[in-house]
Each structure stands twice: as structure tokens, then as C-alpha cells.
Amino acid sequence: MLLAACAADAACARQYPDSWAELDRATAALGPDRTPVFLEKVRTLLYLPTTARSVPSFIHKAARGEPVLDAQPGAGRVFADGLYLAITCSESFARMDVDQAIVQSAATRLGAYRLTRQREACKQWPMAAADPMLFRNGQYDVPVLFLAGALDPVTPVEWTNQAARMFRNSKVVVFAEGAHVPEGLSGLDTCMDPMILAFVAAASTQASDASCVATMVREPFLFP
């Protein structure tokens, strides 16, 4: 979807006329050992609009043989690896057929890189008993305002819609150029924050005017 947005943008399309072909050239040049690391960096860039705008440039540089693997997407951000493993090892990996997921991942560009790496990490991490209520479905009256990014690489909008169906008084707001987090979108303080504050103050989704979300966009694509 991001590369399609680049193709629809005159300046980006002119600078990067075929990012998919460049991605193929980059992975062919990097080889099977380094390709997963490269694709993992691409995946990481997709998490924020402020870094997602650099993806076509990142792929272009890799296709030209530039040392992109030395780059540090998201440098300076703090990531709580221990908390991440404590949650995902006990709640995600413990409840999924990892072997089947690895087989299915073979058809993707990234392959089983993430799955195999995390499986090894979870073998060394203390496991907690997952709350049996964690995946309980039901119907609830509590008001919930769901915020979703259309370009989120890890929690797609369809998951948001599935969750929202459990809450009678829910509202789903989709940021067309949003990602996993909204950092890098315009209007965070003038549109998103007032919408959230109005929801919290009224404890009702009816108080949240989401019309301004259509004006929230990321910055232009980056060029070398």
C-alpha cells in the first residue's frame, strides 16, 4: 500500500518508478543471509509515518548497493524488549501453532525470520500463565474509541473492526496515512488530541468529531 501511494505521487513516482523491481534487485544482491535483516529494517520503517516516507528511498539505496544495513531505523527510540517478550511469549506464541505459521510464512518475502528468532528468544524467557479471559468474546457497553492506521504493518484495520464488534458503543477512526503509531502525521495536536479529549470528557463516542482526520497526512516522501 505504501509503494502504491508512492506510485500515485508524481514526485515519488518520478524518483522511484519501480520500487518493486528495485526491491527484487536489492534482495538478490544481498543474498539469503542478509536479505531477512534488510527486510526487517523495511518492516521497522513502516511502523511510523515519519519513517515510512523513507521506505522507497531505503529500497532504492539498497538496490544501488549502498550499505543500508548499517542504518538504524528509529534510532534513539526506547524499546522495552523484556516487556515485549513477557507479553508475546506468554500470550501470542503460547496460543499459536508456530510450526504452521513458519510453513505459511515461506510464501512471504520476509519468510520465517521473525518467527524463528522469537521462538528462540521465548525458549530463554520466563513464561507466565496467560489470563484465561484474554481472548474471551462477548458484548460490552463500555464506550471505546478505536484509532487505526490504514498502513499499520502489524495490526491491520480489519483486526480493529473485529474488536469493535464486541463493543456496542464503539467508534472506529481510521487514519488513511497512519501506521502503527501516528507519529509523523499532521494534525496530531489540532485534530487527534481534541478528538480523544472530547471522548474522555464525555465518556461517549458521540462527542468525538472525526471529520478532521481526512486532513491528517504524512510529510512528503524522502529522496536521496
Q: Tell me the pLDDT tens digit for each residue of 4-17.
A: 999 999 999 999 99
Q: Is residue 49 part of a domain?
A: yes
- Which pLDDT band, with edges at 50, 70 and 90, does 67 fall under? confident
Residues with Cβ within 8 Å of 223's Cβ and at least 6 positions away in sequence, in order, are 11, 15, 57
Same domain, 107 and 152: no
- Write out the three cell numbers for 80: 522495552
Tens-digit pLDDT profile for residues 95-106? 889 999 999 998
| Domain that includes residue 161, residue range | 144-215
For 110, the grid coordinates are 520476509
Asked if residue 41 belongs to a domain, the reply is yes
More reliable by pLDDT, 161 or 94: 161
Of 147, 128, 150, 220, residue with least CA distance to 188: 147
Q: How far apart are CA 185 and CA 147, in angstroms?
A: 13
76 assigned to some structural domain: no
pTM of the model: 0.86
Decide if 146 contacts 157 (C-beta within 8 A).
Answer: no
Examine residue 175 and state whether it is found in any structural domain, yes or no. yes
Residue partners of 178: CB distance under 8 A and separation at least 6: 49, 147, 148, 149, 150, 151, 152, 185, 216
Is residue 178 packed enough to be buried (19+ CB in 10 Å), middle (13-18) or exposed (0-12)?
Answer: buried
Do both 66 and 85 map to the same domain? no
138, part of any domain: no
110, burial (CB in 10 Å: exposed 0-12, middle 13-18, buried 19+): middle
How many domains does one find in the chain? Answer: 3
- Of the residues 48, 70, 92, the one at which a domain ends: 70
Choosing from 123, 157, 189, the residue where a domain stops is 123
Backbone phi, then psi, for 136, in 5-degree steps? Answer: -75, 130
User: Do 13 and 62 share a domain, yes or no?
Assistant: yes
Q: At which of 89, 123, 157 does a domain end?
A: 123
Give per-residue pLDDT as tens, 111-158: 898 899 999 999 999 988 878 887 788 899 999 999 999 999 999 999
What pLDDT shows up at residue 39?
93
Q: Are residues 44 and 103 in the same domain?
A: no
Does 116 fall in a domain? yes
